[in-house]
Amino acid sequence: MQQISDAMNDIFKIETISQLNEILNQPKAKNPLISVIDFSQIQDFSNSHHSKITSSFYIIMLKSQCHGTLKYGRQYYDFQEGTLVFMAPDQVMAVEEMEDSEIPQEISGWGLFFHPDLIRGTTLANKMKDYSFFSYDANEALHLSDKEKQTLSAIISQIETELELNIDKHSKTLIASNIELLLNYCTRFYDRQFITRVNSNKDVLSRFETVLNNYFAADLPQEKGLPTVKFCAQQLNLSANYLSDLLKKETGKNAQDHIHSKVIDTAKNMLLSTNESVSQIAYQLGFEYPQYFSKVFKKKTGQTPAAYRNMA
């Protein structure tokens, strides 16, 4: 396991599936690019305690119990039963040790670990960017019902069955197809989670609007430029992808669309209430180039800023 310097802490980089199995005291992987691990078979988590860990592969974990809290990105998450967490290559996680009295007697669940090389040349490779939950923080994990857990576990069992067979020309396609099926179900289940959290979603939307209002009221655009999705998400203690996906499900528009709408509304007020030039307004709104401001304005309104002002 390679150790990487990280300012104040050390990050352990797991480069291969074989290294992962060795660290978790598991049998040699049947396929060097993928491993399915039954967490009930792991007796010792001590190798991961107090360590920051990153890997070269994708990770999907369903755990009913955990020997500690998981820190993923900026957030801590205490594993609960039926919780699914996703991690992409090179994302950093850390497991912090519990007191002996807090350690559960039984640990269950499974982990699917696969290297990007496994899916190269398959239809799944081109779709991975669409599964934005790999860039969510751990506190935005997917919470599964018993029926949903059964659905995903059945797919995991099918992958395990395929791994037991001798590798042939069909193995890669079949394994990738099952992973894609699992991820498509996860997309459906996240949609369900967004829908069932209506009150929470409305609160996020309200707070997001407040963040944007405060940003423009404080004249931050002239200092920092246009508000970014990342900035707004940080103010809400969310990941940028989660914020955009939540807003998309709730309003039909992603976070960037909402930001542009706020910019255009502010621009309309300035065009009608001041004599400042279009270029001056563009700079005040945080645009580096007035031409880009005009392009965004026309895309949203069907008119250039000058035409909008003249028709008022």
Q: How confident is the model over 54-92, as pLDDT tens digits?
A: 899 999 999 765 444 554 444 444 445 578 999 999 988
Joined tokens for residue 57: 């592969």
Joined tokens for residue 83: 């919780």
The listed range with the strongest mean pLDDT (73-87, 167-181, 194-208) is 167-181
Instruction: Please determine, for residue 1, whether its predicted confidence score (pLDDT) is greater than 50.
Output: no
Instruction: Please determine, for residue 35, whether its predicted confidence score (pLDDT) is greater than 60.
Output: yes
**The pLDDT of residue 116:** 97
Domain 2-196, classified CATH 2.60.120.280, yes or no = yes
Q: Does the global pTM surpass 0.85?
A: no
Instruction: Please determine, for residue 98, whether its predicted confidence score (pLDDT) is greater than 70.
Output: no
Starting at the edge strand found earlier in the chain, the sheet holding 34-38 runs: 34-38, 109-114, 58-63, 83-87, 142-143
Q: How confident is the model over 261-280, as pLDDT tens digits?
A: 999 999 999 999 999 999 99
**The pLDDT of residue 197:** 86
**The pLDDT of residue 43:** 62
Which of 260-293 are b and which e, b meaning 16 or more Cβ less than 10 Å from the residue's Cβ? bebbbebbbebbeeeeeebeebbbbbbbeebeeb
Instruction: Please determine, for residue 106, whether its predicted confidence score (pLDDT) is greater than 80.
Output: no
Average pLDDT over residues 112-120: 96
Map out the domains of the chain as residue ranges. Answer: 2-196, 199-311
Query: CATH homologous superfamily of domain 199-311?
Result: Homeodomain-like (1.10.10.60)
Q: Put residue 80 in one of left, alpha, beta given phi > 0 → left and psi -120 to 50 → alpha.
A: beta
> CA of 75: how far to CAs of 11, 177, 205, in Å?
17, 32, 21
Q: Rounded to 10 degrees, what is the CA torsion of 185, 190, 192, 194? A: -170
In whole angstroms, what is the distance from residue 124 CA to residue 183 CA?
A: 10
Per mean pLDDT, which range of 2-6, 137-141, 158-162, 294-298 is the poorest? 2-6
Joined tokens for residue 102: 């807090």
**pLDDT bracket for residue 215 (50, 70, 90):** very high
DSSP string, 118-162: HHTTSHHHHHGGG-GGGGS-GGGPEEPPHHHHHHHHHHHHHHHHH
**The pLDDT of residue 89:** 95
Instruction: Please determine, for residue 96, whether its predicted confidence score (pLDDT) is greater than 60.
Output: no
Q: How confident is the model over 291-306, as pLDDT tens digits?
A: 999 999 999 999 999 9
Instruction: Please determine, for residue 152, whether its predicted confidence score (pLDDT) is greater than 70.
Output: yes
In whole angstroms, what is the distance from residue 191 CA to residue 82 CA?
A: 17
Selected residue with higher pLDDT from 301 and 40: 301
